[in-house]
Amino acid sequence: MERLNPRQQEIVTLARASGRVGVEELAARFAVTPQTIRKDLNELCDRRLLARVHGGATVSSGIENVGYEARRFIAQEEKRAIGEAAARLIPNGASLFINIGTTTEEVARALDGHEGLLVITNNLNVATLLYRHPRIEVIVAGGPVRRADAGIVGPPAVELIRQFKVDYAVIGVSAIDQEGALLDYDYREAVVSQAIIDNSREVVLVADRLKFDRSAPVRIGRLSDIDVFVTDRMDSPTLTTLCRSHEVQVIEALGDGQLPGAPPPQELDGVSARLAAAR
């Protein structure tokens, strides 16, 4: 197989840094025609280095996730903004689950100023971020630890989660399809996330818009299982319609705040969603 040319190598580097590259932007950057860029992208996709999407390509494949450390560098600014917006939804004195993911880790990082929290997690990275905090109690699910991402999955983790009924769940996903399915790559991880959803009074989904262009084989649930969706920008008309039809509150961390036409904040079992604080 021929080696990549310098332009193709840089395209892969750009895609891994931002999660997605666009044909028009690349054509302008390299001063070549869009047709040349499309040819590059097609070749990179044939080699399974990128995956084609409308108008460009992403680093993801449909059956295997990008490496965890590499994912930390994808959409960093967006994930940080999402984490801060989601953390503002959590009041002091609340109990919550946080699952595996680089975006959920940003939520944990932004919880530093909170007090009186009980956090149950299957993510050792989240536990490491929070356990030193004198006013946050952390409980870690048991079971085997995945070396790839310090996640804990399997029956023992599910069993521990089922012992709780918490105020909030903060969950991340690997992909969201246009039918509203929340998707992941690992069946064991999906089962843990399902248990988290089932044992929470209010579910907060955190995911950047790159997840709208990705695919994964295992279904966690659907948008209808979610109460609040915090993203960087909601640029999918189809998902916007689905969220409205299922009364899912949408917050754009890098947009205008609450999505126009979204349902108002609600009281769930006496726990205030406090959505206005994220605007």
Neighbours of 116 (CB within 10 A): 12
Q: State how far the Cα of 272 lies from the Cα of 223, in Å rounded to an integer.
A: 21
Whether 193 is in a domain gets the answer yes
181 with 234, same domain?
Answer: yes
Q: State whether 112 and 196 are in the same domain.
A: yes
Are residues 35 and 162 located together in one domain of the fold? Answer: no
Final residue belonging to a domain, choices 31, 59, 87 = 59
Q: Domain ends where: 59, 85, 100?
A: 59
Q: Are 43 and 133 found together in one domain?
A: no
Predicted local confidence at residue 207, as pLDDT:
96
Rg of the chain (C-alpha set) = 19
Q: Are 38 and 174 in a shared domain?
A: no
Give a yes or no: residue 64 inside a domain.
no
- Residues 51 and 113 placed together within one structural domain of the fold: no
pLDDT at 65 (0 to 100): 53
Residues 222 and 110 in one domain: yes
pLDDT at position 262, please?
A: 47
Is residue 179 located within the same domain as residue 48?
no
Is 227 part of a structural domain of the chain? yes
Measure the CA–CA gap between 1 and 135, rounded to whole angstroms.
Answer: 56
Within a domain: residue 22? yes
Question: How many C-alpha atoms does 207 have within 13 Å on its Cβ side?
Answer: 30
Give me the residue label for tokens 């399915």. Answer: 181
> Does 244 fall in a domain?
yes
- CATH assignment of the domain containing 36: 1.10.10.10
Do 207 and 258 lie in one domain? The reply is yes
* CA angle at 250 for the pair 115 and 123, rounded to the nearest 5°: 45
CA 200 to chain centre: 18
Which three-class secondary structure state does DSSP give residue 210? helix
Residues 271 and 176 in one domain: yes
Domain boundary residue, one of 32, 59, 86: 59
Pick from 36, 32, 38, 29: which is nearest to 10 by CA? 29
| Claim to verify: residue 184 and residue 268 sit in the same structural domain | yes
For the chain, how many structural domains are there in total?
2
Domain residues for 39? Answer: 6-59
**Residue 65 placed within a domain:** no
279 residues of the chain, pLDDT tens digit each: 567 888 998 998 888 767 789 999 999 999 999 999 999 999 988 877 788 888 998 875 554 455 555 555 567 789 999 999 999 999 999 999 999 999 999 999 999 999 999 999 999 999 999 999 999 999 999 999 988 889 999 999 999 999 999 999 999 999 999 999 999 989 999 999 999 999 999 999 999 988 887 788 999 999 999 999 999 999 999 999 999 999 999 999 987 656 544 444 444 343 444 433 443
Q: Is residue 179 part of a domain?
A: yes
In a domain, residue 67? The reply is no
Instruction: Using DSSP bridges, classify how beta strands 257-258 and 249-252 pair: parallel, antiparallel or unpaired.
Output: antiparallel
Same domain as 10, residue 93: no
